[in-house]
Amino acid sequence: MSVYLPRFIRTNPALALFAFLATAFSGFGQTFFISVFGSGIRADFNLSNADYGTVYSLATLGSALMLLKIGTIVDRWSLSSCATLAFALLTASCLVLGFASHWLFLIPGFFLGRLGGQGMMSHIGFTAASRYFEKDRGKVMALTVSGMPLAEAVLPAAGGLILAAYGWRTPWLAAAAFLLLIALPGMRWLSRGAPLPSEVGAQQTDGTADKGMTRAQAVRDPGLYMVLPGALTVPFTVTAILFHQTAIAEVRDWSLERISLAFSGYALGHFLTLFLAGPLVDRVGAGKALAVGLYPMITGLVIMATTNSPWTPFIYLGLTGMSQGFAGTAGNALWPERYGVRHIGAIRSLAHAAMVLSTATSPILAGLALDAGITPSGLGLIFAGIAVTTSILVLAAPHGPAQPEH
């Protein structure tokens, strides 16, 4: 059977599937799934848009800070133990939200979901792809990232159907049952043969010692502060746009049905780009691929800012989805390429926490901008300008070879 698998995953198909599914299951704690239930939650607890957004952003901010503390466990714990913790957090989140009797329960519910899903689950998946696949890392990373468009295509639609029939609480309870009874046992089975991090970090496949940087050494690298903004630009922008998509649609007089259909174009652009992003990372390096990958989103934002045709949301969301594919693949391959894999969990948790912080602040900043009278066109041009600036920083950053640990 393995002869029919692509060469780059033939060495360990179970771990490749684990990494792919980890990013897919992280969808239960991602904005694109949680946002489906926003109207029902706000109505039940009599929350304004600002109140709801503040609760969500504070929970996301707290999860980013906690990830800095617990994200390093992937350098010490077995892969199955890390997955068990992430699923426990996600399941607890679903139960808290499903049974919430007061709006205050939204805070721990969102916190656990953002920490377990957007935080730990995706962190575990990308770390596994970085650590266990030294060769063709870009292609394996692209496969891992492809779990996200799968989740984007399936989870909001499934949640919406259940919501329409049974209300907003039932999808959360169904998600808890699925995660605990099906997803967790399957992921533990896939990760049963994964070597411990200490066994992988001690030696590379060519027999030489992995002399990767520690997190303390990485934060002293000036180049980190040039490439990190580029890795954060797409999630920062996408979270702001998706969280406020209904407000943008109202100003532009786009129906919610049109926006919902256009979101499928976003998922399609995200998925199709992965076939280009992985080979490009392996060919030119993660840094250059990351910079190049920002330009589809830049083009889409300019189109969103300057046109208002019936096809505008399809075009700009599709192009943004393409950059999401590049950012997920190149952005996550950047850290092992730059700093090695010996301490990749600690370094990735720092980068991931920064990403979560950026996605916590972007809905607030975009909301303040819209409330201050900045139009969706102005917002699109601001985000496009940010992306151009960060792409230049990435290209100008010096290469940071992994340094020996002292």
Q: What's the pLDDT tens digit per position in 83-121?
A: 999 999 999 999 999 999 999 999 999 999 999 998 899
Q: Would you state the pLDDT for residue 206? A: 44
| pTM (predicted TM-score) | 0.76
Q: Would you state the pLDDT for residue 8? A: 62
Q: Would you state the pLDDT for residue 53? A: 79
Q: Would you state the pLDDT for residue 240? A: 87
Q: Would you state the pLDDT for residue 366? A: 86
Q: Please report where in the chains the tokens 């950053």 appear, as a residue.
A: 397
Q: Top-level CATH class of 2-396?
A: mainly alpha
Q: Please report where in the chains the tokens 């916190």 appear, as a residue.
A: 111
- Residues of the chain predicted below pLDDT 50: 1, 203, 205-209, 401-406
Encoded tokens for 285: 């390096």
Q: Would you state the pLDDT for residue 404? A: 41
Encoded tokens for 288: 């250059």
The three state secondary structure string of the chain is CHHHCCHHHHCCHHHHHHHHHHHHHHHHHCHHHHHHHHHHHHHHHCCCHHHHHHHHHHHHHHHHHHHHHHHHHHHCCCHHHHHHHHHHHHHHHHHHHHCCCCHHHHHHHHHHHHHHHHHHHHHHHHHHHHHHCCCCHHHHHHHHHCHHHHHHHHHHHHHHHHHHHHCCHHHHHHHHHHHHHHHHHHHHHHCCCCCCHHHHHCCCCCCCCCCCCCHHHHCCCCCHHHHHHHHHHHHHHHHHHHHCHHHHHHHHCCCHHHHHHHHHHHHHHHHHHHHHHHHHHHHHCHHHHHHHHCHHHHHHHHHHHHCCCCCHHHHHHHHHHHHHHHHHHHHHHHHHHHHCCCCHHHHHHHHHHHHHHHHHHHHHHHHHHHHCCCCHHHHHHHHHHHHHHHHHHHHHCCCCCCCCCC
Q: Would you state the pLDDT for residue 5? A: 62
Select from 95, 77, 105, 79 the least CA-distant residue to 179: 95
Q: Would you state the pLDDT for residue 44? A: 92
